[in-house]
Chains A and B, each alone.
Chain A
Amino acid sequence: MIEIHDLALDAPDARRLFAGLDLVVPRGGNQLVTGPSGSGKSRLLKVVAGTEQPARGRVSVGGVAVWPGSGAFALMGKVRVGFAFATGGLLSNLSLWDNVALPLRFSGVPAEALQGRVDGALERLGLAAVAGLRPHAVSASARKHGNLARVLAYDPDLILLDDPIEGLDRSDRDVALGLIQEWALDPAKTLLMAQEQPDPFAQLASGQLDLQALSVPLETP
């Protein structure tokens, strides 16, 4: 599903984060990416989603060349990608319901099916009561769950999860973990998860990559 060859990523200050990354994640595989804050986990996920261009290397998803190529535009209509962002990612001028519904509306899901899928996803993540509110009016954990609800309703082939349980309280964490576990067991879904520590995803992962081992050391003056 994901093929990465000789990937190099730079930080916004042009510092090289890592270089020479080769990674293959088969369809239905669950890949965990770990590393300390600032090691490039989130950027790696964005590169795979096609929203950020790498410094060097080739990336393809589902047989579609993302880089070099037109990034996320190359994947549109070919591979369904769901991305749960660590922060932000929900449109601030739409309610949670409309945020979850937007990718479905754009991919041509009929109104009745759309209503059921959106309501079901919000219910599953415990957001039914706040579905009509905009992201700024709900808690940080509800925004995090909103990201997961959008992925759940969209039913994508590739799921990218960036720190999906960071900052959640125990009950919210259990809900999120239950959902991620279901995705991990589904052979039709490929998971790429980024997390600072391997726990609690280590048991779910079929492959694990530590970015710290690839990181380029800072030059001391």
Chain B
Amino acid sequence: MAFLARLGAPVRGFLAFLGDQAHLTLSTLRYALLLRMDQATVVGRQTRLQVRFTALDALWLVGGTALLLGAVTLIQAFSQLSGLGAENYIGVLMVLIILRELGPLLTAILVIGRSSTAIAAELGAMQLNGEVDALAAHGVNPYQYLLLPRWLGVLVAVFTLVVMFDAAALGGGFLVARLKYGVTFGFFMDSVRQTLSNRDFVATLLKVVVFSGAITFHACHFGLSIRRSQTEIPQAVTKTVVSALVAVFALDGLLAAIFYF
């Protein structure tokens, strides 16, 4: 029996974690619908702060990473496919590798590294300082004041950064194609456009929504679970990063299977 209990404990823990994620998401949605106009102004101000930190402050990092990735992808592809008419595969390579997969995935990883860590640490510190209790005691709903703006902010930020990432990666790819084969911008974009489908847009939008939800609510779960001491904060941050990365990879795999398998 003890062996069975030991075997079941992680499963029970995982199911409890999933239940908490569902509870956080549904409660935030429910209280978002109950938000009054005057409260929406306060929430809007908090959302803008989150967008500034998660999107605007990360634009150069994401843009630079994407530019290099787009360029490196085509350099590697051309080195392997030279003599096989590599320039004809530009669009396929850019869409399959960058726009479909790496754009949303690497953006999510960068946001996990920069912002989910910050959210978990901030909420943990607020919890220890009695700030979450103070909000609830004074009629300020923590789901509306703390969770909703972070979710909306991360959602807007991830969308913006994915668009930025894709544009910069295409720019990097075009630079290499131009220098190596003298490809014109029109030819490059036509090649990309022919490979892109509406399904790619829908899949990317869905990834933005589920990734931003996973990133935010993992951070909120681990941040708000802190109860006793400051030493729990770095532990919560580490758990957030590991757990959110696993969730994003799993969701990415699931969506790839649904849309392209």
Contact = CB atoms under 8 A, between A and B. Distances in A.
Interface of A: 12, 46, 49-52, 71-73, 75-77, 80-83, 85, 87-93, 102-103, 105-108, 150, 154, 160
B42 A50 contact: no
Interface in B219-261: 227-228
Interface stretch (B61-69, B100-108, B138-146): B138-146
Contacts of B20: none
A105 B35 CA distance: 13
Contacts of A89: 129-131, 133-134
Contacts of B41: 105
Nearest to B27: A73
A83 B138 contact: yes
Given A12-B227, A12-B228, A72 B137 contact: yes
A73 B145 CA distance: 13
Contacts of B131: 88-92
Contact of B140 (A50, A87, A102, A160): A102
Nearest to B49: A93
User: Interface residues of B toward A: which range?
Assistant: 20 to 34
Contacts of A160: 137
Interface of B: 36, 38-39, 41-42, 122, 125-126, 129-131, 133-141, 145, 227-228
Contacts, number: 80
11 contacts: A49-B137, A51-B136, A52-B133, A73-B136, A81-B137, A89-B130, A91-B131, A91-B135, A103-B139, A105-B39, A106-B139
Contact of B138 (A46, A73, A88, A154): A154
Contact of A85 (B42, B130, B140, B228): B130
A105 B134 contact: no
Q: What is the interface of chain A mostly: helix, strand, loop, or mixed?
A: loop
Given A12-B228, A105-B42, A83 B139 contact: no
Nearest to A42: B130
A71 B42 CA distance: 23
A59 B203 CA distance: 49
Given A105-B41, A106-B42, 17 more contacts: A12-B227, A49-B137, A50-B136, A73-B141, A76-B139, A82-B138, A83-B133, A88-B131, A89-B134, A90-B134, A91-B131, A103-B139, A103-B140, A106-B38, A106-B39, A108-B36, A108-B39
Q: Which 9 A-B pairs have the closest CB atoms?
A: A72-B136, A88-B130, A103-B138, A51-B133, A89-B134, A83-B137, A88-B129, A49-B137, A108-B38
B120 to A, nearest CB: 15
A50 B129 contact: no
A80 B125 CA distance: 26
